Amino acid sequence: MHLYPLKLVTVVGETVIMEEIAEEVIKLGATGFTLSDVVGHGSRSTRNVLISGEAKTRKLEVVVPSEVAVTILTYVSHNYFEHYACIAWLSDVAVVRGDQYVGKQ
């Protein structure tokens, strides 16, 4: 078994911006993404799907090579941080079948 050292970019933000970010990460070199509705509490407010009946916050996860990860984080921080409730972070991951994630560099 071979493990590929890659990066996991996670972005959590307001629903209104997450589809746009998801589309952009593909243009920036990702081969795919996972987008989920989430519930949480942070500095800008409590994000609770149970109260309103609809998701206010979504989480985007993308597994990519290091260079693509930096490009995605730069894009998100420059375009969304100032005006939206949004946070992003980077994690090291080791992926089985990771060759699927390095196709678009």
Which one-letter amino acid corresponds to residue 63? V
Inter-CA distances, 41 with 12, 15, 49, 89, Å = 12, 15, 11, 17
pLDDT digits (tens, 9 = 90+) for 32-86: 999 999 987 766 555 444 555 555 889 999 999 999 999 999 999 999 999 998 9
Question: Does the residue 101 lie in any domain?
Answer: no
Yes or no: say if 55 and 15 are a contact pair by the CB < 8 Å rule.
yes
Question: Does the residue 103 lie in any domain?
Answer: no
Task: Give the pLDDT score at 6.
Answer: 95
Q: Could you tell me where the DSSP H helices lie in the chain? A: 15-27, 49-52, 66-79
| Residue 88 lies in domain | 3-96
d(CA 33, CA 63): 7
pLDDT digits (tens, 9 = 90+) for 88-102: 999 999 999 877 776
Higher pLDDT, residue 97 or 25: 25
pTM, whole model, 2 decimals?
0.85
CATH number for position 39: 3.30.70.120
Higher pLDDT, residue 57 or 21: 21
